[in-house]
Structure 1
């Protein structure tokens, strides 16, 4: 003899439709937040690198204030300073910015020297010189740093070795500022 059940276990079609609609609404609202995590990660890395760079510059400036001479031999490297006591590269160009990067960090990540601020980026850290300031940007090969109107398009930080006010950048000697965040 077969038993018959009055109620069968399971979901009705309406319950399934409601669950699918709720999941769809959650996906539409939450997905954009998680889709572009690479940009958030790049921004966080740039902020961290800027903080480390700023700390290094501050320590070098403190050492200059104690000794009141330039250059100063620190960690086996000769560091040059401006008359105001701020660390600077060995030359006033992009090669000097790379030189400064390597002197600020005890174990620096590789940094590529850009021919100019509007050159295509190389994968990793890139350095450029602009009127008394060194800029550093984390990029991917072939990316363009400046748009057609001459404005920077990506997150980067700038170290000012002298006071500078131009359309794109403004800062005093010793400032380390984040741009396009």
Structure 2
């Protein structure tokens, strides 16, 4: 112990070994509980990726339709920049859609480097792409990079309605 200027013993202050070990144990428990959340960011990244593509597609269909309205809403279906437009001004052919129609809609209205392929009956998980499935006047766009949970959205060209699932 040190003596103070007045000649009395000065009490040392600090943490005891027990206090230090207790703090280290508590920090370790908190880190152990939080680590799984921070270490598994893949699902968040996949959801964010799918969500951004969904947002871009949704915005592109609305811009396409607004262009039709700006031109006076012509009654006859036409083709704009290689994309078929139906009588309601939404991108997509009048009537039923097939897988290729859905790919053409995607490629015609979005400016993305993400590959999209038409449905062939199966897909490979982990492909860094989307698959387009067309049936009964609807398009379904499925995110292939991770299918747990399956992320996709429905697009109905006749109404312009887009419904996201797990996005």
CA distance in 1, matches of 2:99, 2:90: 17
Structure 2 gap ranges (5+)? 1-10
Alignment of 1:23-172 (within 5 A): 23-65=27-69, 66=71, 67-68=73-74, 69-73=76-80, 77-88=81-92, 92-116=97-121, 119-121=123-125, 122-140=127-145, 145=147, 153-162=149-158
CA distance in 1, matches of 2:112, 2:57: 12
Give the C-alpha shift of residue 12 in structure 1: 5.0
Structure 1 gap ranges (5+)? 1-6, 146-151, 163-172
Give the C-alpha shift of residue 16 in structure 1: 4.0
**2:115–2:128 Cα contact (<8 Å) kept:** no
- TM-score (normalizing by structure 1): 0.69
**2:93–2:101 Cα contact (<8 Å) kept:** yes
Aligned to 1:169: none
Kindly report the root-mean-square deviation, in angstroms, between the aligned alpha carbons of the 2 structures: 3.0
| 1:30–1:94 CA distance, 2 compared to 1 (3 A) | same
- TM-score (normalizing by structure 2): 0.74
CA distance in 1, matches of 2:105, 2:87: 16
The C-alpha deviation readout for 1:48-106, integer Å capped at 9, x for no partner, is 11111111101111222325132233xxx322122322211597211111111110123
Larger Rg, first or second structure (1 or 2)? 2
Query: How many residue pairs align between the two structures?
Result: 153
Aligned to 1:168: none
